[in-house]
Chains A and B, each alone.
Chain A
Amino acid sequence: MINKVVQDAASACADIPDGATLMLGGFGLCGIPENSIQEILRKGIKDLTCISNNAGVDDFGIGLLLQRRQVKKMISSYVGENAEFERQLLSGELEVELIPQGTLAERIRAGGAGIPAFFTPAGYGTEVGEGKESREFHGKMYLMETWLKADFALVKAWKGDTAGNLIYKGTARNFNPMMATAGKITIAEVEELVPVGELDPNMIHTPGIYVQRIFQGKDYEKRIEQRTTR
């Protein structure tokens, strides 16, 4: 098996240049690539275009990169948890493209699956549809949306093997599987890195073909946004 293992976040992210387009997995703070984000923060890589469902919170996740003005453009569906984001957006410092969540997920999936465009009903008749081709199918109107790809896709999984096969846990799966397929270079960080042969092939969510680099992550904080109990 091809060995995709790199030492740590520093080696995995060593060649991410200023101005890169990144995909970052996660929904809210659930399933985000904490180690890779910390490394990008540490290195001060700037002028980034970040494709991620959310923008973190003020002091965690992508919010950290926003605080340091490392992000030039965000492509997201919901950014309500981040006051700094809203401030930069309303003042015009940050370029933002807001995309319906299902369209975002499908555009990323399409990018990884070699489908340059598709039609979806989401956003027809709204601001989202402005300037886009629309077409009627079976009496309903649809918008044409195009694929999304990234220079680097940063994903987080629960378990991974040295060949890059990944298994996610719980709802930390979210955008990670599609993003893993849509990066020119996909960097996977995992809570538990195991030798090939230890993961059941029937249980693999992301086949290793999509993953170029994998490393054993550390010090996961796994912050909870809304701790609700019974």
Chain B
Amino acid sequence: MALDKHGIAKRIARELQEGYYVNLGIGIPTLVANYIPEGMNVVLQSENGLLGMGPFPTEDEVDPDMINAGKQTVTTLPGSAIFSSAESFGMIRGEHVQLTVLGAMEVSERGDIANWKIPGKMVKGMGGAMDLVASAKNIIVAMQHTSKDGQSKLLKDCSLPITGLRCVKKIVTDLAVLEVTEDGFKLLERAPGVTVEQIQAATAGKLTVQGEIPEINV
């Protein structure tokens, strides 16, 4: 059975390590915050200028001057810090953030990512995505393996305008966990009950499969 978005977020949460500073993008990546292992110290960075993003506020705590990069109301935590957008992207470009998790429309077998524009249809802008993918040491993409009309989103080359080149390290989809290698997408894990053949059929880019592929354990 394919993972739902919470399953994808849970699996990505297993990539977190003690002491990590992490930037979570909008959508499925935001859900990763719900699955940080108990007792692990992970600090969430929000690129509008907040380190140490806390949970959503209670009704009484709602403050229009406290939002995250998704424009949602949030809270601070003991030890939080607030700063300007220039400082925020300084710490991103300066590689002080250990892990970035973001969504994508397409990923190529070399790790190129497209997630900001559909020519003639959707032009919302790249926001901070280009800065994040150009600078982060470790980038994990959270997305569905195929588009709503069944087209593979893991391609030989991206067909949409690129957000960044050769930057994605790992991809967690509803069907599989894959690593981007010199030899294309390497299949690491498969969703419970999903076969290697099903993943192969849903992957348009080069897929390498070595030995037994374990099921994702979430």
- B residues less than 8 Å from A109 (CB atoms): 86
Contact between chains at A126 and B85 (CB < 8 Å): no
Closest to B112 in A: A125
Contact between chains at B126 and A169 (CB < 8 Å): no
- A123 in contact (CB, < 8 A): yes
Of the candidates B56, B65, B120, B130, the one whose C-beta lies within 8 Å of that of A230 is B56
Contact between chains at A126 and B163 (CB < 8 Å): yes
Most central of B67, B69, B127, B130 by chain A CB within 10 Å: B130
Closest to B76 in A: A170
Interface residues of B, dominant DSSP: loop
| Contact flag A108-B128 (CB < 8 Å), given A27-B67, A101-B47, A171-B48 | no
Minimum CB–CB distance for B48 against chain A, Å: 4
Segment touching A, from B14-22, B87-95, B147-155, B189-197: B87-95
CA distance A125 to B158 in the complex (A): 13
Contact between chains at B85 and A175 (CB < 8 Å): yes
CA distance A25 to B56 in the complex (A): 24
Q: How many A-B residue pairs have CB under 8 A?
A: 175
CA distance A96 to B124 in the complex (A): 11
Interface size class of A (residues with CB under 8 A): 35 or more
- A116 in contact (CB, < 8 A): no
Contact between chains at A230 and B67 (CB < 8 Å): no
- A residues less than 8 Å from B70 (CB atoms): 226
Minimum CB–CB distance for B108 against chain A, Å: 12
Contact between chains at A100 and B128 (CB < 8 Å): yes
CA distance A53 to B58 in the complex (A): 28
- B208 in contact (CB, < 8 A): no
- A102 in contact (CB, < 8 A): yes
Minimum CB–CB distance for B51 against chain A, Å: 11
Of the candidates B56, B82, B90, B125, the one whose C-beta lies within 8 Å of that of A170 is B82
Which 7 A/B pairs are nearest by Cβ-Cβ distance?
A102-B89, A80-B124, A102-B131, A170-B65, A121-B134, A100-B130, A78-B127
